[in-house]
């Protein structure tokens, strides 16, 4: 199972994308659409946003480098 905190190339976490089951149920292509606010940022574990626009990135694509960077930031 993929880590829920893994970052997508849209810069939002894995857990902010619909599940695989939902993707297959609601769209025929199976893409895991992002449901996070488009301008959402995380500061000290709290998420902030200014607009009500949802990201809707086309598919969840893990960003390996960004995930590793976030994990290193937590250790330091």
Give the global pTM.
Answer: 0.78
Q: How many domains does the chain have?
A: 1
In a domain, 46, yes or no: yes
Indicate the SS3 state at residue 1: coil
Residue-number span of the structural domain to which 67 is assigned? 14-75
- CA 68/CA 33 separation, integer angstroms: 22
In a domain, 8, yes or no: no
In a domain, 7, yes or no: no
Q: Are 16 and 4 in contact (CB under 8 A)?
A: no
| Tokens read off for 29 | 């292509």
Q: Are 39 and 49 in contact (CB under 8 A)?
A: yes
In a domain, 24, yes or no: yes
Q: Spell out the per-residue pLDDT of the chain, length 76, in tens.
A: 689 999 999 999 999 999 988 888 877 778 899 999 998 877 777 778 888 899 989 899 999 998 888 888 766 5
Closest CA to 42 of 69, 23, 64: 69
């Amino acid at each position: 199972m993929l880590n829920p905190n893994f970052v997508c190339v849209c810069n939002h976490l894995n857990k902010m994308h619909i599940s695989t089951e939902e993707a297959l149920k609601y769209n025929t292509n199976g893409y895991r659409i992002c449901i996070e606010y488009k301008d959402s940022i995380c500061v000290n574990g709290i998420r902030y946003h200014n607009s009500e626009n949802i990201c809707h990135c086309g598919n969840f694509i893990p960003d390996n480098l960004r995930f590793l960077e976030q994990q290193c930031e937590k250790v330091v």
